[in-house]
Structure formats: C-alpha cells, structure tokens
Structure 1
Amino acid sequence: MRRSIISRKVPDAWSGLLAASLALAFVARAAQAKDGTGSSLEDYLKRVGYLPIELKRSEHDELLAQGVLAGKKRLFLVDTGWGRTALNEAAARRLKSLGELGVTLEDSFWGKLSDPTIVLMDKLMLGRAQFLNQPARVMNLRMDFISVEFDGVLGPDFFFRNYCLIDCAGRRLYVRSSKPSDDATSAIATTLRRSGFTDVPMGLKYGVTVDAKVNDESVKLLVDTGSVFSVLDSALAKRIGLTAVKHDEAAVGSLMPKEWSARVVGVGKIGAHKMWVTKLKTLQVGSLQSTNVHLGVVDLTSWHLAEAGGESEEVQGVLGREMLRALGALIDYHSHKLWLRPKD
C-alpha cells in the first residue's frame, strides 16, 4: 500500500476550492446535528456493540486519535491508505519487539508474524477502548517541509482486526471487541439504508478501493483518510484528455494565466511533488453522481500507485478525506462497504 499524501502549501485559488469542500462537509455535519441523525447514529452503534473514539483534526486537517501507550500520551493518524500500522522510534522505545520476546505472533489480519523488528503495542488505550498486543512496525515518520504532529499511524490492519467503522463526517472511529454476528451485520445494513445511506462495495486487492467513473471512464479509487485531497493519476488524466484549470487572470508580466497548482508531500523518501487541478464533468461513486467536480492530478507512481505491471496498476486515483466528509462517508471494515449519505 501507499503512504499518505499531505499538502505542504496551498495557493490561494486551490485554497478556495479546499475551503468550499470543507464548507460542504461542515454543512453536512450541521444538518446531522439539526435533524438528530448525527447523535442517533452514534447511539445506535453503541447499542449494537460499537465503542466510539472521538477524532480530532490536526493543523493539517488530519484525523487524529489521542491515546496512551506505554504510559505516555500519543497521537495516532487514522489513515486508511497506509500499509502496516506504524510507530515512530520515540513511541516504540519502551516496547518489546518479536525478536526481543523470542516469539512469533499469530495475527488475525497478517497471519503468522515472525519479523523480529515488529514491536507489540501490549496495551494501547484510545479513549475508553483498550487494545492488547497490536503489532506495529517502527519507522521514521518525518515529512519534508512539514512538522508531523502524530506519533504513530493506525492502518488498515488495525481497522480490519478491530472491526472498525470510520465516520468521516462525524469524526468518530468505532471499534468492537468481537466480530458482529451475521444477524447484527444484516440489521446494521438495513438501518443504515433506511437512514438514507447507500452502500458501495470495497475491493481489497490493493488497499481499500471503490469502483468509480470519471467522465464515464471506469477507474478504481483508493479510499484514503490520510490524503487531504482527492486526486487522479497524471497518466489517466492524459489518456482521457483532462486539462488544467487556470486562474482567471494572468500574473503580472505574463500574458498566460497560470494553472491552479500545489505541492503534495509524502512520508520519508517520497518527497514533494507538483499537483495541478482539473475539473471533471462528472464523477460517479456507486450510484451517486456529482457534476463539475474539481480534483487534483499528480503522478501517483511516486506513492507506489498506478504502477504499470504492478499490483497497484488498477488504482488510478484517491478518494481523499475532504470528499469523504462531503459524502458523509462511513468506512465499514467488517462488511467491506463504503456507506455514503451526502447532504443536499
């Protein structure tokens, strides 16, 4: 899987687009509070065995879970586009590795783990939820040009292992101590549909993906709460003839208006890369279709996506958290569904 995309510096024009997206997400949250569906969703999920963990927004608009690990307060990035759950060196310092313990671990997600460098989070507290013996790799979580607020990253292995539901608009991570029964799973799905949600199946071949259509072109999009923006791969954009959105006026001393663009930054060696902005006639995810949608365009091979001949070849875009919020998305790791309920 890939490492997260996070914006470094957003120019004024793109900042306006981001503000509009965030405003749409805010309207959705306000509408939930007004009609009671926001609180009733949490109440309902608590009744059927889920425990809510409140998520905070960082300076860079990331979703963070505050917890306690080895007796110290730690912040964890909630990143559905990440690979394996990870800790920085400082957060892992007091933890034992599989090599130090002289054991192998039988994990419900990864299977048998024998890598001696993997550490065990023997007791992790997130809100009122306690997690035992959660494996993590240790890595340098630095980013060029950006101060990193979090001490670790919760990735899809954590979400699958703990039957998680992520409420992108309501900023809640829901967890369970045991697998829901088939009857409970069916009842939850029925309740969500009656509440106005529509479900989109999630593929699991490479990360967590959904089928979408970009101007009637079929694509797979990575569902990625770690990405600020929703983006398409530059090779796809070229193939289907997407063009860059330009400023209304040219800069001083120039006759040609500049493209709307920004820089996006990945963790570690990924570095910073230029992203330009395009406008789609239509974007369809599941049965939901939007018109005149602005998305970023970047070379996703730098994040090991859309690599010709590789496992990630078919993943040609990213559904980032600004759009996930606007769509009222619930990411359901047990049922392998993306539930959407956008507000008008």
Structure 2
Amino acid sequence: MRRSMISRKFPDALSGLLAASLALGFVARAAQADNGGGSSLEDYFKRVGYLPIELKRGEHDKLLAQGVLAGKKRLFLVDTGCGRTVLDESAARGLKSLGELGVTLEDGFLGKLSDPSLLLMDKLTLGSAQFLNQPARVTNLRMDFIFVGSDGVLGCDFFFRNYCLIDCFGNRLYVRGSKPSDDVTSAMAATLRRSGFIDVPINLKYGLTVDAKVNDESVKLLVDTGSTFSILDNALAKRLGLAAVKHDAADVGSLIPKEWTANAIGFGKIGAHKMWVTKLKALEVGSLQWTNVHVGVTGLKNWGLAEPGSRSEEVQGVLGREMLRGRGALIDYHSHKLWFRPEK
C-alpha cells in the first residue's frame, strides 16, 4: 500500500500556491501558539533518534532547507502538497539519470523504480544529515511574476522515506535513519499530549488531508506547506454562500468598497489565477475550532484539486503555511498525525 501511494494517490503536480499581494496579510488573524517548549522539544526529539535540520524562511514565508548537492549549495522548498521530489533543470546538471546509469532503484518508499528519466541524487546534504540515492524528477521551476528562489522541491516521497517531522512553528525538519519503534512512537505521542499538543489524524487517500468543517459543512483539506495561505475552492464557497471581504472605504470617486483580492500563482503552466478573501464563521479541524477565520478562494481545479469525477474531488481546500505556522503545527509522517500546539 505504501509503495503505491505516491504513484496512484498523491498529487505529482507542483502546487506552489503563492499570493502575489498583501490581501490576506492585512485581514488574517492567526492565533499565536505556545512554542511547546522550543529547544526542549528539539532536545526531546534528538533523544528519541531524530536529527534536526534548521529551515530558513524565504520570500512569501516559504520554508526552505539549505543543503549541498553535487558540490554546490542548493535551496529546497519544503512542500507537503507535492507528491514527488523535484529538481530544477539548472540544479540537475551533472547528475545521472537511471537510464544513463543503466540501473533500476529499489527505493524504501516507492518500491522498484525503472523510469530512465528519473535522476539520482547520490549524496544530498541537509544540515548535518546526509541522504544517499534519493530519486527526483526534473522540471523547469518557474512561476509567473514571482522569483522562485529555490533549486528544488522536497516532496512527500522524501518525507515518508526519511520518517520526517516538520515543525512549521519552530522551523525544523526532523529526519531519521530508520523506522521508529512502536515504543518510541507511543512515547512521543504521550509526551506531546502531556505538553498540551492536540493531534488530528492525517488521511492518505489523496495527498495529506485532514477532516474539517467549514461553517458546519464537512470537507477535506490538503495539508500544504507549499501554499502561502489557506484556500477554499470556489465551488465550495458558492455552495456555502460565502461573501468577499471588502476594504473599509471605497476608492476616490466610487461609493462601493473594493474586495480584497490577490493572485494565486502555481508553477509552470498553472500560471496566475485571481483569488478573493472571505471570512469563515467557524473552521473546525479535528477537535479544534477557530472562529472568524480569513481564507482565500480560487479555482483549485487549476492545481488538480476539487476536480469532479477525479480522485481529488473531495479535497475542497488547503491548509496553508500561514495557518500551519500560526497554529504551531507539527506534521508527523510516520504516525500520520497533524499536531497543533496549545494556544496562549
């Protein structure tokens, strides 16, 4: 089941949902989360066998891992909305493909790989961690109107293969060299709960999703660190009768205040699409509930989500970086849990 997950059920397309204006930055009110012990949390994870990798905050608050590949410094976007690890064409120079090497790869997560176009990152260094023989696709990482600012994308295959934890609040990527034992997994869960963390199960039917309610309607939301903001599909917004948030005052010469809008921008051919802002009465994720939450609205079909008749049909929205960071989220790939820190 795990081996078929990426090829059949995870979005291979690069989401890279970025907003090209300050629309949500002005109206969003993300709650501040307690840091859950800060360095003490890192110390605990190290004691149970995890190695921390510091993440940088880039333009548009992107989560970036700095590393070395083929002797050159490289930046990688940490993108939980992307199914497969990807390298930009410029960063792929000098690396060999499976076809050039004349080999197949037995991967611990994806199984047997024989696609001759797949590249092999024979040694990737992130912080003090070294990763051997990591497969990657090659593409042209470009975005309309936006400087990409990374040489590659770490996707879900990398995070599952290396039993990763992603601390969206503490800017850390935790990795392991081997699968944690059942005792370690149970002890970690108990420790986090004692510290006030609340866990939400992650579904793996299509990407990493969580069960949620938007104004009392049940939906599935993609957990996506590659998206700047949290976003709902426009069909869901229409069905719920959601209204656009408007400026407090109209422009000179007009009596009608403008709506808050932005451009949601995806990699490559996805391009730029208008996004407007709405305010939800309530958003529930697992047992947690938040009120008066501002989110963006756009056509997520442009990103391969919420497509009628497809496997992605039930994914009606995205939990983006602003909410994952603001709520102190910790993404546990091995246990399939999304943890939220206690709020102040």
TM-score range, shorter chain: over 0.9
Within 5 Å, which residues of 2 pair with 1:285-324? 285-324=285-324
Q: Distance in 2 between matches of 1:155 and 1:5?
A: 12
Equivalent residue, structure 1, for 2:208: 208
Q: In the superposition, relative to structure 1, how do residues 327 and 15 fare at CA in structure 2: closer, same or farther (>3 Å)? A: closer
Provide, for residues 279-327 of structure 1, a one-character-per-residue CA deviation record: whole Å limited to 9, x for no partner.
1110011111001111100100000000000010000000001100111
Give, as a single letter, the amino acid of the residue that structure 2 aligns with 1:151.
D
Q: Distance in 1 between matches of 2:259 and 2:327?
A: 27
Residue pair 2:24, 2:229 contacting (<8 A) in 1 also: no
Give, as a single letter, the amino acid of the residue that structure 1 aligns with 2:24.
W
C-alpha deviation, 1:8, in angstroms: 4.6
C-alpha deviation, 1:14, in angstroms: 3.3
Indicate yes or no: 2:14 matched with 1:3. yes
Within 5 Å, which residues of 2 pair with 1:247-286? 247-286=247-286
Q: Distance in 2 between matches of 1:7 and 1:68?
A: 26
Q: Distance in 2 between matches of 1:192 and 1:262?
A: 37
TM-score using structure 2 length: 0.94
TM-score using structure 1 length: 0.94
Within 5 Å, which residues of 2 pair with 1:149-160? 149-160=149-160
- Report the number of matched residues: 333
Instruction: Give the 3-state SS of the residue equivalent to 1:44 in structure 2.
Output: helix
Instruction: Give the 3-state SS of the residue equivalent to 2:109 in structure 1.
Output: coil
Residue pair 2:198, 2:342 contacting (<8 A) in 1 also: no
Give, as a single letter, the amino acid of the residue that structure 2 aligns with 1:14.
L
C-alpha deviation, 1:105, in angstroms: 1.1
Q: Distance in 2 between matches of 1:332 and 1:260?
A: 34
Give, as a single letter, the amino acid of the residue that structure 1 aligns with 2:21.
V
Equivalent residue, structure 2, for 1:37: 37
Indicate yes or no: 2:83 matched with 1:111. no
Q: Distance in 1 between matches of 2:20 and 2:150?
A: 19
Instruction: Give the 3-state SS of the residue equivalent to 2:59 in structure 1.
Output: coil
Within 5 Å, which residues of 2 pair with 1:177-196? 177-196=177-196
Q: In the superposition, relative to structure 1, how do residues 84 and 43 fare at CA in structure 2: closer, same or farther (>3 Å)? A: same
Provide, for residues 126-179 of structure 1, a one-character-per-residue CA deviation record: whole Å limited to 9, x for no partner.
000000000000000011111111000000000000000000000000000000
Residue pair 1:53, 1:173 contacting (<8 A) in 2 also: yes
Equivalent residue, structure 1, for 2:8: none
Equivalent residue, structure 2, for 1:48: 48
Provide, for residues 178-205 of structure 1, a one-character-per-residue CA deviation record: whole Å limited to 9, x for no partner.
0000111001110011011111110111
Equivalent residue, structure 2, for 1:126: 126
Q: Which 5+ residue runs of structure 1 have no aligned equivalent?
A: none
Q: Distance in 2 between matches of 1:187 and 1:38?
A: 19
Equivalent residue, structure 2, for 1:93: 93
Q: Distance in 2 between matches of 1:295 and 1:166?
A: 23
CA-atom RMSD, angstroms?
Answer: 1.2
Structure 1 consecutive aligned stretches of length 4 or more whose deviation exceeds 4 Å: none
Equivalent residue, structure 1, for 2:68: 68
Q: Distance in 1 between matches of 2:147 and 2:16?
A: 14
Instruction: Give the 3-state SS of the residue equivalent to 1:269 in structure 2.
Output: helix
Q: Distance in 1 between matches of 2:90 and 2:70?
A: 11
Q: Distance in 1 between matches of 2:230 and 2:336?
A: 21
Provide, for residues 60-85 of structure 1, a one-character-per-residue CA deviation record: whole Å limited to 9, x for no partner.
21000000000110000000001210
Equivalent residue, structure 1, for 2:4: none
Give, as a single letter, the amino acid of the residue that structure 1 aligns with 2:255.
L
C-alpha deviation, 1:17, in angstroms: 2.6
Give, as a single letter, the amino acid of the residue that structure 2 aligns with 1:79.
D
Give, as a single letter, the amino acid of the residue that structure 1 aligns with 2:59.
E
Equivalent residue, structure 1, for 2:226: 226
Residue pair 2:223, 2:320 contacting (<8 A) in 1 also: yes
Residue pair 1:233, 1:300 contacting (<8 A) in 2 also: yes
Q: Distance in 2 between matches of 1:176 and 1:334?
A: 10
Give, as a single letter, the amino acid of the residue that structure 1 aligns with 2:225.
T
Equivalent residue, structure 2, for 1:15: 25
Q: In the superposition, relative to structure 1, how do residues 127 and 92 fare at CA in structure 2: closer, same or farther (>3 Å)? A: same
Provide, for residues 184-237 of structure 1, a one-character-per-residue CA deviation record: whole Å limited to 9, x for no partner.
100111001101111111011111000000000000000000100000000000
Provide, for residues 1-37 of structure 1, a one-character-per-residue CA deviation record: whole Å limited to 9, x for no partner.
14234435214x533135x43xx4xx43xx53xxx70
C-alpha deviation, 1:258, in angstroms: 1.1
Q: Distance in 2 between matches of 1:123 and 1:14?
A: 39
Q: Distance in 1 between matches of 2:171 and 2:92?
A: 26
Residue pair 1:265, 1:272 contacting (<8 A) in 2 also: yes
Q: Distance in 1 between matches of 2:298 and 2:112?
A: 36
Q: Distance in 2 between matches of 1:61 and 1:326?
A: 12
